[in-house]
């Protein structure tokens, strides 16, 4: 059958649509177009640098209908790949882009293997076409992400990572830079977040001869997965607005518009609540996954010393090295004298250098090395010839270093720095007090007696560590709180108040209920000490003391542990028995026969046994935490300000934190002015007339008149010069003389 007026060979979009609907009916037209493509391709190979629009149209057409004729199109993908490999640099940019889009269409239809296509696209990154490189980068990232969406294809990922390893060493700087960007982006998206990717970047990227690749690699190790504070603040503000919308809808008139606003407000509110209840995802930074951190730190430091890069690149080197030293607790002794050279107040970015000095400090570094850094810091910053801000920054940096290496501070230097607690500038005073607070928690013996503060249970338990010493515990601190609430240590076996009820209660440390808790513990101690003393004196008086202890415990129970007189009596008896026992122990020690304290031994054994046998619940952990906080309370129930915990990375705000009144913006100043005007008389011209309806003066009327009406009067208000005033005075005096 011959088709007259057939326009399909010239109208490819229409033919494409018809083929997708009925492939078998239009097979002849397809083969005709395919033969035409082969003939145009032969012509193109003669001059590959010239643009051929007909070839581009045919390639896109064949790529669109390739799934309909799989057998006929077997060699078509490889033909396009060969053209791109052979003429990648000589092709016209628009044609090269068209060939790549055709291959992506074939990849989406599974007519070309993803590995072959990705390897080709990695090679095309060498092309001097920025638009194409950006397009290929986005496709590579999206394609690898889609391939690992359900399950990770480890074989494919390993092959591509090995190929990327060779691409990073490529002589073309643009291809190497694009490769490192792809790897970093895949790591951030959680697709290639394994140690292999990190170590490829660490071993190849950080030591690349191309500066852009090296900087991108260093920035990768400086990135952290911290929650953006601004976003959280915006969400909280948004939530407040949503609540106001819900409240306003109850009061205002019910309309369709307000109903829609209420529905959207509820949806957004539910989304915010879901985000809050979502579990926190803990992502380790890339620095933790490095296999050889010591070798990397040494090589980076050698590269820093031998290189001649910009100052910003040197700062990146120092930042990465300091993080490696601090996190992995490395030994790089030559780093500290090197960084000491830059600790000067006039040095550019000096606060960041102080941050690196603090990050590179840890307990295993010999204190002499860190001590030299601290002395340089103190001599250059903490001096009255500098401004108060410089002194405060110096003291803050000393504190951050001593948080990580407290042994680096000697007693004389610490006492000199603590003298600044009475300095006239508040910023210096607060920085010195923060240093005192740190050593109250770490090593209170280095401080002067007046600076140690009130003793607490926690400060008494602190034992200063020596260099390299590890203090291991065979029990869980704070578990003694669980012993006091155990049922076998209750006041009486038949007591009505069970210990299970008291276990579920949370005692507020800032409220008066803590005093009752302490009294209850004292009564328990009274009971336990009384029973132990009764066991010791059982042979002397078998019935007397036991009967007294039983009757007194009943009296205490009847008084509900709040009777202070009973407590005082019991304390006096305990002190008497303790004096007798101490005299006996002294006599025994003189004879060489010492006996350990039965109560302390039994309590330690009970705590150890509790840690080994008991499964702690949430309420148990709450009580342990409460007990640890109570240990840091002073005797007058005033909670001491706790020092912040040591973190992996030093925040720059902790060093630049200066206690002074910040400058407010214009909106904040206007708001404070409006608040100050509330409740006072109206400012401006005060009208003191008794009758508000009487006429106004000419001065008041002038304020409402047009300026052109009073210009002649405004001219007379021009200030006279000193010479004019002299002449006027002389004229006035002569006039007065004539009048006489």
Any idea what DSSP says for residue 152?
-
> Up-side HSE of residue 195: CA atoms within 13 Å toward CB?
6
Q: Please, what sign has the CA dihedral across residues 142, 145, 149, 153? A: positive
Judgement on whether residues 274 and 324 belong to the same structural domain of the protein: no
**What does pLDDT average to in each consecutive run of 10 residues of the chain (740 residues)?**
52 84 87 89 86 87 89 88 86 88 90 85 84 89 85 82 82 86 88 87 90 92 55 45 68 79 77 63 70 94 91 93 93 94 92 93 92 94 91 93 91 92 90 90 86 72 75 76 56 39 38 43 43 41 38 39 46 50 44 42 73 82 77 52 62 80 75 83 67 81 86 73 92 90
Domain of residue 548, residue span? 480-585+606-631
- 362 is a domain residue: yes
Judgement on whether residues 395 and 544 belong to the same structural domain of the protein: no
Any idea what DSSP says for residue 382?
S
- 658 is a domain residue: no
Which residues are within 8 A (CB) of 654 and not within 5 positions of it... i.e. 6 or more apart? 396, 400
Judgement on whether residues 554 and 446 belong to the same structural domain of the protein: no
What is the domain count for the chain? 4
Judgement on whether residues 274 and 329 belong to the same structural domain of the protein: no
Q: How far apart are CA 287 and CA 291, in angstroms?
A: 9
Q: What pTM, to 2 d.p., does this model score?
A: 0.64
Which residues are within 8 A (CB) of 361 and not within 5 positions of it... i.e. 6 or more apart? 326, 370, 401, 404, 405, 408
pLDDT at 7: 56
Backbone angles phi, psi at 639, to 5 degrees: -75, 130
- 467 is a domain residue: no
Judgement on whether residues 488 and 384 belong to the same structural domain of the protein: no
Which of residues 147, 166, 193 is at a domain's end? 193
pLDDT at 544: 37
- 522 is a domain residue: yes
Judge contact between 120 and 77, C-beta under 8 A: no
Judgement on whether residues 138 and 69 belong to the same structural domain of the protein: yes
Residue 240: Cβ-neighbour burial (10 angstroms; 0-12, 13-18, 19+): exposed
- 255 is a domain residue: yes
Torsion of CA 164, 166, 172, 174, to 10 degrees: 10
- 323 is a domain residue: yes
Judgement on whether residues 297 and 381 belong to the same structural domain of the protein: yes
What is the Rg, in whole angstroms, of the alpha carbon atoms belonging to the chain? 42
Q: How far apart are CA 272 and CA 266, in angstroms?
A: 10
Judgement on whether residues 346 and 450 belong to the same structural domain of the protein: yes
- 91 is a domain residue: yes
For 167, the 3-state DSSP assignment is: helix
Judgement on whether residues 249 and 303 belong to the same structural domain of the protein: no
* Three-state secondary structure string covering 87-129: CCCCCCHHHHHHHHHHHHHHHHCCCCCHHHHHHHHHHHCCCCC
Judgement on whether residues 317 and 253 belong to the same structural domain of the protein: no
Q: Residue 633 pairs with which residues in a beta bridge?
A: 639
Judge contact between 100 and 135, C-beta under 8 A: yes
- Look up the CATH number of the domain holding residue 343: 1.25.10
Judgement on whether residues 21 and 87 belong to the same structural domain of the protein: yes
Judgement on whether residues 180 and 253 belong to the same structural domain of the protein: no
Q: What is the maximum alpha-carbon separation in the chain?
A: 138
- 215 is a domain residue: no
């Amino acid at each position: 059958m011959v088709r007259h007026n057939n326009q399909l060979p010239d109208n490819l979009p229409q033919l494409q649509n018809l083929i997708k609907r009925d492939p078998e009916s239009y097979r002849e037209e397809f083969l005709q177009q395919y033969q035409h493509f082969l003939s145009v391709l032969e012509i193109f190979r003669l001059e590959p640098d010239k643009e051929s629009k007909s070839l581009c149209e045919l390639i896109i057409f064949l790529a669109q209908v390739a799934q309909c004729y799989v057998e006929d199109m077997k060699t078509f993908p490889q033909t396009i790949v060969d053209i791109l490999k052979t003429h990648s640099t000589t092709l016209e940019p628009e044609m090269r882009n068209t060939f790549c889009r055709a291959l992506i269409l074939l990849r989406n239809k599974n007519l070309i293997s993803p590995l072959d296509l990705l390897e080709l696209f990695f090679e095309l990154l060498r092309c001097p076409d920025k638009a194409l490189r950006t397009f290929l980068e986005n496709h590579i990232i999206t394609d690898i992400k889609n391939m690992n969406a359900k399950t990770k294809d480890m074989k494919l990922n390993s092959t591509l990572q090995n190929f990327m390893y060779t691409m990073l060493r490529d002589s073309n700087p643009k291809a190497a830079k694009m490769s490192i960007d792809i790897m970093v982006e895949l790591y951030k998206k959680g697709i290639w977040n394994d140690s292999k990717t990190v170590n490829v970047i660490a071993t190849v990227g950080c030591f690349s001869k191309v500066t852009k690749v090296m900087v991108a690699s260093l920035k990768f190790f400086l990135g952290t997965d911290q929650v953006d504070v601004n976003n959280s603040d915006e969400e909280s503000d948004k939530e407040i607005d949503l609540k106001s919308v819900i409240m306003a809808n109850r009061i205002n008139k019910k309309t369709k518009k307000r109903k829609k606003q209420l529905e959207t407000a509820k949806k957004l509110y539910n989304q915010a609540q879901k985000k809050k209840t979502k579990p926190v995802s803990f992502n380790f930074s890339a620095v933790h996954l490095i296999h050889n951190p010591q070798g990397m730190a040494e090589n980076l430091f050698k590269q820093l010393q031998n290189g001649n890069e910009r100052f910003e690149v040197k700062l990146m080197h120092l930042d990465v090295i300091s993080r490696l030293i601090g996190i992995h607790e490395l030994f790089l002794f030559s780093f500290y004298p090197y960084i000491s050279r830059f600790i000067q107040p006039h040095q550019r970015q000096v606060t960041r250098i102080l941050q690196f000095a603090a990050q590179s400090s840890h307990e295993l570094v010999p204190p002499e090395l860190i001590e030299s850094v601290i002395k340089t810091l103190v001599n250059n910053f903490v001096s009255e010839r500098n401004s108060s801000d410089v002194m405060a920054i110096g003291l803050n940096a000393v504190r951050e270093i001593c948080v990580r290496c407290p042994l680096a501070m000697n007693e004389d230097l610490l006492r000199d720095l603590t003298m600044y607690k009475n300095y006239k500038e508040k910023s210096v005073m607060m920085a010195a007090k923060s240093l005192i607070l740190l050593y109250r928690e770490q090593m209170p013996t280095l401080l002067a007696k007046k600076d140690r503060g009130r003793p607490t249970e926690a400060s008494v338990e602190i034992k200063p560590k020596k260099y390299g010493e590890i203090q291991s515990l065979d029990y869980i601190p704070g578990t003694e709180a669980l012993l006091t609430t155990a049922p076998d240590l209750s006041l009486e076996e038949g007591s009505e108040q069970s210990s299970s009820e008291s276990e579920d209660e949370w005692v507020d440390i800032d409220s008066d209920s803590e005093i009752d808790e302490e009294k209850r513990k004292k009564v328990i101690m009274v009971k336990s000490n009384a029973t132990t003393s009764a066991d010791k004196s059982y042979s002397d008086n078998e019935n007397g003391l036991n009967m007294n202890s039983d009757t007194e415990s009943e009296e205490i129970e009847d008084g509900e542990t709040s009777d202070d007189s009973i407590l005082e009596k019991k304390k006096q008896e305990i002190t008497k028995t303790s004096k007798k026992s101490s005299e006996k122990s002294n006599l025994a020690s003189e004879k060489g026969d010492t006996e350990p304290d039965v109560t302390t031994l039994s309590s330690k054994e009970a705590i150890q046994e509790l840690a080994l046998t008991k499964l702690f619940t949430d309420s148990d952990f709450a009580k342990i935490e409460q007990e640890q906080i109570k240990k840091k309370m002073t005797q007058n129930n005033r909670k001491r300000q706790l020092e912040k915990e040591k973190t992996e990375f030093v925040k720059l705000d902790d060093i630049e934190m200066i206690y002074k009144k910040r400058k407010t913006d214009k909106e904040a100043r206007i708001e404070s002015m409006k608040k100050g005007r509330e409740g006072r008389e109206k400012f401006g011209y005060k009208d003191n007339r008794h009758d508000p309806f009487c006429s106004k003066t000419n001065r008041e009327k002038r304020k409402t008149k047009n300026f052109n009406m009073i210009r002649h009067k405004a001219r007379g208000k021009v200030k006279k010069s000193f010479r004019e005033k002299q002449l006027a005075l002389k004229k006035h005096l002569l006039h007065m003389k004539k009048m006489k």
